[in-house]
């Protein structure tokens, strides 16, 4: 049983690192926002709240990774994943399959759903990473320099009105954003073209 728990922890940590760590969170949030267009009034804030409030699990559908047990419709499609992410998913899936530690079912629309039941610690995405990713995406998408900061602040205010986030995490998100944009501005344009 100790091996099972250790293996479950390794599997969970590998998948988490590929999707929800600082180097990957911006891309993950971007994919989530693009792939999961809700008919809601405030799609961005609702998505951010889901990332902050729900623990991450290992679950797959026939179209992608469904990281939140509380919302199986929020999916990161396989065709939007990097090679490293697909490899982490494949390794985790092999572990779950070999140990037969999963629950499989059919969803209402006919799609498949598989969730690991392997013991692993409960993990919530660091709110500072979610706020950082939001800052980066908003500031890269809004055309007016003045509006970038305003739009980002409005989103953060809406998130903070719905969930309690430590001031240190808010400051950390802003520090990561500043470092990200300082690095982006220091790279000459000729080097960014692949």
Look at residue 41 in the predicted model and tell me its pLDDT: 73
Over residues 50-57, the mean pLDDT reads: 94
Q: Are 111 and 63 in contact (CB under 8 A)?
A: yes
Q: Encode pLDDT of 11-25 as tens digits.
A: 778 899 999 999 999
pLDDT band at 4 (very low <50, low <70, confident <90, very high): very low
Residue 152 is predicted with a pLDDT of: 87
108-115 CB contacts, 8 Å cutoff, 24+ apart: 111/61, 111/62, 111/63, 112/61, 112/62, 113/59, 113/60, 113/61, 113/66, 113/72, 114/59, 114/60, 114/61, 115/57, 115/58, 115/59, 115/60, 115/66, 115/69
Task: Look over the chain and give the mean of its residue pLDDT values, rounded to a whole number.
Answer: 86
What's the pLDDT score for residue 1? 39
Q: Higher confidence at residue 146 or residue 97? A: 97
Are 123 and 55 spatial neighbours (Cβ–Cβ below 8 Å)? yes
Of 103 and 78, the structure prediction assigns the larger pLDDT to: 78
**With 60 as the cut, is the pLDDT of residue 190 above it?**
no
With a CB cutoff of 8 Å and minimum separation 6, the contacts of 194 are none
pLDDT of residue 149: 79
Residue 189 pLDDT exceeds 70: no
The model carries a pTM of 0.85
Q: Does residue 55 contact residue 69 with C-beta atoms inside 8 Å?
A: yes
Range scoring the smallest mean pLDDT among 14-18, 41-45, 152-156 = 41-45
pLDDT band at 192 (very low <50, low <70, confident <90, very high): very low
């Amino acid at each position: 049983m100790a091996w099972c728990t250790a293996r479950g922890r390794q599997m969970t940590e590998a998948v988490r690192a590929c999707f929800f760590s600082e180097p990957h969170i911006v891309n993950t949030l971007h994919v989530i926002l693009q792939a999961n267009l809700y008919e809601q009034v405030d799609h961005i804030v609702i998505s951010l709240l889901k990332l902050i409030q729900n623990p991450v699990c290992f679950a797959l559908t026939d179209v992608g990774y469904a990281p939140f047990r509380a919302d199986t419709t929020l999916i990161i499609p396989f065709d939007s994943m990097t090679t490293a992410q697909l490899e982490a998913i494949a390794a985790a899936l092999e572990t779950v399959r070999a140990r037969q530690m999963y629950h499989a079912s059919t969803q209402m629309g006919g799609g498949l759903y598989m969730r690991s039941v392997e013991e692993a610690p409960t993990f919530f995405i660091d709110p500072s990473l979610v706020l950082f990713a939001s800052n980066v995406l908003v500031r890269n998408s809004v055309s007016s320099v003045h509006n970038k900061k305003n739009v980002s602040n409005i989103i953060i205010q809406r998130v903070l009105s719905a969930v309690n986030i430590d001031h240190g995490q808010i400051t950390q998100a802003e520090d990561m954003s500043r470092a990200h944009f300082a690095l982006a501005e220091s790279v000459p344009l000729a080097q960014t073209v692949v």
